[in-house]
Amino acid sequence: MNNKEYQVRLSGFGGQGIILAGIILGEAVSLYDGRFAVQFQSYGPEARGGASRAEVVISDEDIDLLELIEPDVFLALSQQAYNKYVGDANENALVIIDPDYVTEVPPSSRKVFPVPISKIAREEIGKSIVINMVALGALASVSGLVGIDALKKAVAARVPAGTEEINLKAVQAGYDNAREMV
């Protein structure tokens, strides 16, 4: 994926750490991968449990797009978020869903990657809270928009001291698992 602006939308329900995942993706790309990223998020009336989204535009050049128009990559960690935010995704968009949460995906031309993100967090890592980190790893695999090393550096710099190891393990698990589907 080169010479284009890639539009990425991360979504789920409030409390899953979607916004933080968006910030980390932007930091990974722009601080550790030598490319350009802008990140924005919805500041709607969403409360914990409601649909939440974060968006990142990634490019090799300066970015003047300050609003997502047509996502090229769409991640959904809840059915509500899927239903609410999938609509304007590109017809060739890469769609990453957690099949435990997103069960109804109407057929379309988009390529769907069902990655058991919450299950990996719960069973492989032993902490449901790292679901957003597993999701970032999966997104790195599926999209190729960010290097795993850059992603890990950004995660390590962002998460609370003492939690680096478990978060990095979560990123790697998401990356490895999704890689089998790519």
Partner 1 sequence: MNSGNNVQFLQGNEACALGAIAAGVRFFGGYPITPATEIAEVMARELPKIGGVFVQFEDEIASIGAVIGASVAGTKAMTATSGPGFSLKQENLGYAIHVQIPCVVVNVMRGGPSTGLPTLPSQSDVMQARWGTHGDHPIIALSPYSVRECFDLTVRAVNLSERFRIPVILLSDAIIGHVRERIVLPSREELTLVERKKPTVAPEDYKPFEDDGTDIPPMANLGEEYIFHITSNNYDDEGFPATNDHDIADRRIKSLYNKIERNRAEIDDVDLFMADDAEIIIVAYGSTARSARRAVMMARQEGIKAGLFRLKTIWPFPYDHLRTAAEPAKDVLLVEMNMSQLDSEIKSATHGLQTRIHGLHQSNGMLITPDQIYDRIKGLV
Strand, helix or coil at 66? coil
Give least dist CB 90 to partner 1, A. Answer: 15
Residue 139 or 178: the one with the smaller Cβ distance to partner 1 is 139
Interaction of residue 31 with partner 1, rule CB under 8 A: yes
Query: Interface mask (CB under 8 A) for partner 1, residues 112-151, using x and -?
Result: ----------------------------------------
Burial of 67 (0-12, 13-18, 19+ CB in 10 A): exposed
DSSP line for 118-166: HHIIIIIIS-GGGHHHHHHHHHHHHH--S-HHHHHHHHHHHSPTT-HHH
Window 51-70: residues binding partner 1 (CB under 8 A): 63-67, 69
Give least dist CB 69 to partner 1, A. Answer: 6
Task: Choose which of 2, 3, 43, 109 interacts with partner 1 (CB under 8 A).
Answer: 43
Task: Choose which of 15, 44, 126, 144 interacts with partner 1 (CB under 8 A).
Answer: 44
Window 68-107: residues binding partner 1 (CB under 8 A): 69
Contacts with 53 (C-beta within 8 Å, 6 or more apart), sequence order: 9, 10, 11, 18, 41, 42, 81, 85
Binding site for partner 1 (CB under 8 A): 23, 26-27, 30-31, 36-41, 43-45, 63-67, 69, 157
